[in-house]
Amino acid sequence: MIPTIIFVCFMAVAVIGFWVAVAIKAKRRSGTPTTEATTFSVRDKNDEKLLKAAEAGDAEAQFNLAQTFEFKESGKYVYWLEKAAEQGYDEAIRALADDYDHGNDVAEPPIKANRKKAVEYFTRLADKGDIEAMKRISLIYFVAFDDENKAREWTEKAANAGDIESMIELGDDYRLLPEIDDFKKSEYWYKKAADLGSGAAMKGLGDLYCYDENNPDYYKAESWYKKAVAAEYYFAYVRLGDMCKEGKGFLKDDRAAFDYYNKAADKGEIFGKIKMAEAYLKGEGTAQNKQKAIEILQAAAEKSNIAKYNLGRCYFDGDGVEQDYKRAVQLFTDSYKLEKDAAFRLGECYHNGYGVKADNEKAKEFWREAARRGHEEAAESLKKYFGETAE
């Protein structure tokens, strides 16, 4: 009896073993790892091949090997990246630059941000004509080192290498920054980008000629705005509307201005919608329709801080809606970081207790914020009510 039982058990074990072996083979054929040990053995074999190629001096293998070590407790990630970088392997240089720029907390061991090293590695790429590396260096100098001149130097290198975005940035800087204001340089960089088909640069030229304090040229401004529209840069419709509204280059024409704003809005330009809402509120260039104005602002407020602020003003003043200070405060709070007017209004609300509990410390905080950003009324309010300045 016992031998029979032993025989049956033996056969059962054999059958189970056979089907387990079949299952393992099936999993291996499908590429599904059966156990953690199997997964690591396959990975180690791949690592072994990469290691041999890397040790033989293959830069691509060195880079790929570094990636396999990035999250392992090996300390070999940076070692192999540096080996590949020494041979001029661009992806390794870029990986090191990125890691030193932002830091890499998940690597083993973690890499601390080191902007000087980041600049060194990005410069190696920039020396090969890599435009994105030039722009990253510019950003590091601007943000991390607070060196606008050095940042602009690298922006100019990127522009000279053919980067349209950098050309426009330089055009904007020389037009808008008082400390380096230079009409000719602004015009030069805008025109370089415009010649490459940039509608944004064409709009920039329009702004340059339209808003030049010394010698505006409205004919050229209108011409460049229309070229920008033809290049599908539809914000230029807003600028054309502003010219009509302000009577720049021709008689003041609110109706023509509204038509341009409408065209901009039809193309999805948020500023066109905001200008239309203003026109409906005031009845300028179109029949007054405050309900429609509020509807437009409510839709635009989902994407625009200016629209949020304008809608807040409507609730604050009771213009087109029932006056609601709490709703106004909410909208001002949502938009003040980008809209200095909203910061000023929040100061007013906290000073007077409109929609919130009166709080002079908060009033001062918001007025200081607005005044630092050039809001004259906020600076006057600080001085008038608290005898303080923004500094």
CB of 167 within 8 A of CB of 192?
yes
Cα(264)–Cα(269) distance, integer angstroms = 5
Percent of the chain exceeding pLDDT 90 equals: 82
Residue 40 has pLDDT above 50, yes or no: no
pLDDT for position 44: 60
Cα(230)–Cα(271) distance, integer angstroms = 18
Number of other residues whose CB lies within 10 A of the CB of residue 11: 10
Which residues are within 8 A (CB) of 259 and not within 5 positions of it... i.e. 6 or more apart? 241, 285
Peptide bond into 109 cis (omega under 30): yes
Q: What is the pLDDT of residues 153-190, one digit of tens each?
A: 999 999 999 999 999 999 999 999 999 999 999 999 99
Number of other residues whose CB lies within 10 A of the CB of residue 91: 16
Q: What is the pLDDT of residues 94-110, one digit of tens each?
A: 999 999 999 999 998 89
Q: Which of 62-66, 259-263, 351-355 has the lowest mean pLDDT?
A: 62-66
pLDDT band at 366 (very low <50, low <70, confident <90, very high): very high
pLDDT band at 23 (very low <50, low <70, confident <90, very high): very low
Q: Which residue has 């990246």 as its token pair?
A: 81
Residue 80 has pLDDT above 80, yes or no: yes
DSSP H/E element including 40: helix 36-55
Task: Report the candidate in 63, 74, 68 with the shortest Cα–Cα distance to residue 109.
Answer: 74
pLDDT for position 49: 85
Cα(171)–Cα(190) distance, integer angstroms = 5
Across the range 123-148, mean pLDDT stands at: 98
CB of 190 within 8 A of CB of 205?
yes
pLDDT band at 5 (very low <50, low <70, confident <90, very high): very low
Cα(341)–Cα(343) distance, integer angstroms = 5
pLDDT for position 75: 87
Rounded (10°) angle between helices 376-386 and 360-372: 140
pLDDT for position 18: 41
Across the range 112-134, mean pLDDT stands at: 98
pLDDT band at 47 (very low <50, low <70, confident <90, very high): confident
Task: Report the candidate in 312, 250, 246 with the shortest Cα–Cα distance to residue 277.
Answer: 312
Number of other residues whose CB lies within 10 A of the CB of residue 250: 12
pLDDT for position 334: 97
Q: Which of 71-75, 117-121, 237-241 has the lowest mean pLDDT?
A: 71-75
Q: Which residue has 């293959």 as its token pair?
A: 58
pLDDT band at 45 (very low <50, low <70, confident <90, very high): low
Across the range 210-229, mean pLDDT stands at: 96
Task: Report the candidate in 271, 279, 278 with the shortest Cα–Cα distance to residue 300.
Answer: 271
Cα(92)–Cα(90) distance, integer angstroms = 5
pLDDT band at 134 (very low <50, low <70, confident <90, very high): very high
In DSSP terms, which residues pair with 360 in a beta bridge?
Answer: none
What pTM was computed for the model?
Answer: 0.82
Residue 300 has pLDDT above 90, yes or no: yes
Largest CA distance in the chain: 117
pLDDT for position 250: 84
Residue 228 has pLDDT above 50, yes or no: yes
Number of other residues whose CB lies within 10 A of the CB of residue 286: 18
pLDDT band at 48 (very low <50, low <70, confident <90, very high): confident
Give me the DSSP letters along 169-233.
HHHHHHHH-GGG--HHHHHHHHHHHHHTT-HHHHHHHHHHHHS-SSS--HHHHHHHHHHHHHTT-
Which residues are within 8 A (CB) of 379 and not within 5 positions of it... i.e. 6 or more apart? 367, 371, 389, 390
Query: What structural domains and CATH numbers belong to the chain?
Result: 163-232 (1.25.40.10), 234-300 (1.25.40.10), 324-391 (no CATH)
Per the model's pLDDT, the better-predicted residue between 14 and 390 turns out to be 390
Cα torsion at 292, 298, 300, 306 (round to 10°)?
110
In DSSP terms, which residues pair with 104 in a beta bridge?
Answer: 111
Q: Which of 9-23, 109-123, 331-345 has the lowest mean pLDDT?
A: 9-23
Number of other residues whose CB lies within 10 A of the CB of residue 82: 14
Residue 34 has pLDDT above 90, yes or no: no
pLDDT for position 7: 41
pLDDT for position 173: 98
Cα(165)–Cα(62) distance, integer angstroms = 35
Q: Which residue has 């190629």 as its token pair?
A: 53
Q: Which of 16-20, 37-41, 59-63, 129-133 has the lowest mean pLDDT?
A: 37-41
Cα(297)–Cα(320) distance, integer angstroms = 11
State the alpha helices, DSSP H only, in 76-163: 77-86, 90-102, 115-126, 131-143, 148-160
Cα(317)–Cα(327) distance, integer angstroms = 11
Residue 87 has pLDDT above 90, yes or no: yes
Residue 362 has pLDDT above 60, yes or no: yes
Q: Which residue has 């330089």 as its token pair?
A: 170
